[in-house]
Amino acid sequence: MSAQVRTRFAPSPTGYLHLGNARTALFNWLYARHCNGSFILRIEDTDTLRSSPAFETAIMEDLRWLGLEWDEGPDAPGQAGPYRQSERLRFYSSYAQWLVRHEAAYPCWCTKERLAELKASQIKAGVAPRYDNRCREAGPQGGVSGAMPVIRFKTPHRPVRFIDEVHGALTFEAGAYGDFVIIGSDGVAAYNFAVVVDDALMGITHVIRGDDHLSNTPRQIMLFQALGFGVPVYAHVPLVLGTDKAPLSKRDDAASIFTLRDAGYLPEAVINSIARLGWTPVGGGGDGLIELAALAGSFDLKRLSRSASVFDMARLKVFNKAAIAAADVSRLASLAGYPTDVVDVAEVIAAVRANAATVADLKGLISPFIDELTLTAEAAECLAQSQAKAVIKAFLDEAAKAASLDEAAYEGIIKAVKIATGEKGRRLFMPIRCGLTGMTEGIELAKIPGLLGRKKVMDRLGRFVG
Ligand code: GLU
């Protein structure tokens, strides 16, 4: 492979994409784009019990929704495929055999019972449990005939040192690791081995991932070296925490991209909020929306933070409001489920969008103008008040006389209604608002009659005085 930068996102399809993993995908995507390199999607599905194709599809959909397209992946074949680990088992077994032939790995026949006893006795003696290398020295004699052996890696007795782009120079002591399993007795590669073979064969130059993987890295580096491959650059990003300061997890439903999308957040808002988790654009970036291409332009591993970041829902809302304010009206109409080519819808969106923090809010704000009038329970209650009918009647009379119902005309109309009925405050405004929109809340009342238009104003209010 050339010196071109190649990054990868390697999700296990065992759940929906959550904010923490989406951020890992984003940072890998940004770095690849920043360097004019390639971004690879690899599906780590060797855990057949927990992996499912449905999660794989959902993760891919969420990545696409976020705008994080990959150059190579299960559905975008490249030279380094296949891109699902379940389809790469032959590579793992041939590299394991190569290590065995070069005496860097060996079969181990130790039974589960023996390993459990060993672990218990080590714990009792107060030493860290690790394999005692019996089969390294004794060979197959220690085994049970007929059983399939595991393959263990001969851990070299030297410290592992590397420079992490986030954490700086790190050293892991020699002997911290026992001879670990690289191929299980079922023939399936262990996680650390599969990752190394894949990262090497896929020409990955930079591994950017959560620092929950930091403890795997020394084992992976030892494997790269034993296989004669170059070691990629590592950047372990501190985890994303929820407001309860616990790491966000796949089981944390509210933190999934799918849930946010469903709740009416726009991808550019989600991108901006996760981009700021552990990375600061030059100049801070403030709360302004930055486009993906611009984020990629300024992305720099050196600006990644060493401390964990807390996902802030309030900040996401700020970004989402900004995204709704900036989005095309026709896009918003279609997201809210309204026809995109209707002038009324466009006008309503233009008038209400500033009040919407999510697409769900937007839907609620558009509906009273476009859909049939329906009353909420509070609105019905308000319209049942003793003064409501008189206020509405006066409003209708004044509206009929007025040349226009726009914001400026409304001021004159409401003044006249106030004088005619002697009502003020909520008792004056609420019946009109509820009669016009069926709701006690919404955009400024002064804007509502003009937006609805004369016919709807007269029809709707007319129903309450008949
Ligand atoms: N499959 C791993 C995960 O979902 C990622 C492995 C890696 O990035 O090295 O956590």
Are 360 and 398 part of one and the same domain?
A: no
Distance CA 139, CA 53 (A): 40
Closest Cα to atom 10 of ligand 1: 11
Q: What are phi and psi of 82, to 5 degrees?
A: -70, 165
For 95-128, how does the pLDDT look when each residue is reduced to its tens digit (9 = 90+)? Answer: 999 999 999 999 999 998 999 999 999 999 999 8
Are 352 and 382 part of one and the same domain?
A: no
Judge contact between 122 and 128, C-beta under 8 A. yes
The answer to the question of residue 444 being in a domain is: yes
Are 456 and 382 part of one and the same domain?
A: yes
Are 411 and 456 part of one and the same domain?
A: yes
> Could you give the count of Cα atoms lying within 13 Å of 188 in the half-sphere of its Cβ?
12
Are 383 and 426 part of one and the same domain?
A: yes
Are 387 and 339 part of one and the same domain?
A: no
Domain boundary residue among 314, 336, 367?
367
Domain boundary residue among 348, 367, 386?
367
Residue owning tokens 């300061």:
245
Among 23, 24, 41, 213, say which to mutate for ligand 1: greatest number of ligand atoms within 8 Å of CB: 213
Are 417 and 352 part of one and the same domain?
A: no
Looking from the CA of residue 209, the nearest atom of ligand 1 is 8
**In CATH, what number is assigned to the domain containing residue 441?**
1.10.10.350
- The whole-model pTM stands at 0.90
Are 363 and 383 part of one and the same domain?
A: no
Are 340 and 415 part of one and the same domain?
A: no
Instruction: Give the pLDDT of the chain (466 residues) as one tens digit per residue.
Output: 447 999 999 999 999 999 999 999 999 999 999 999 999 999 999 988 999 999 999 999 999 999 999 999 999 989 999 999 999 999 999 999 999 999 999 999 999 899 999 999 999 999 988 999 999 987 655 555 567 899 999 999 899 999 999 999 999 987 788 999 999 999 999 999 999 999 999 999 999 999 999 999 999 999 999 999 999 999 999 988 887 788 776 556 568 999 999 999 999 999 999 999 988 887 777 778 999 999 999 999 999 999 888 998 899 999 999 999 999 999 999 999 999 888 889 999 999 999 999 999 999 999 999 999 999 999 999 999 999 999 999 999 999 999 999 999 999 999 999 999 999 999 999 999 999 999 999 999 999 999 999 999 999 999 998 7
Are 351 and 408 part of one and the same domain?
A: no
44 CB within 6 A, ligand 1 = yes
The answer to the question of residue 113 being in a domain is: no
Q: Which domain holds residue 439?
A: 377-462
Which of these, 310, 277, 313, 307, lies nearest to 295 by C-alpha position?
A: 277
Count of domains observed in the chain: 2
The answer to the question of residue 362 being in a domain is: yes
Judge contact between 174 and 159, C-beta under 8 A. yes
Cα dihedral 98, 100, 101, 103 in deg (nearest 10):
120
Rg (CA), the chain: 31
The answer to the question of residue 414 being in a domain is: yes
Per the prediction, the chain carries an average pLDDT of 93
Evaluate the omega torsion of the peptide bond into residue 238 and state whether it is cis, within 30 degrees of 0: no
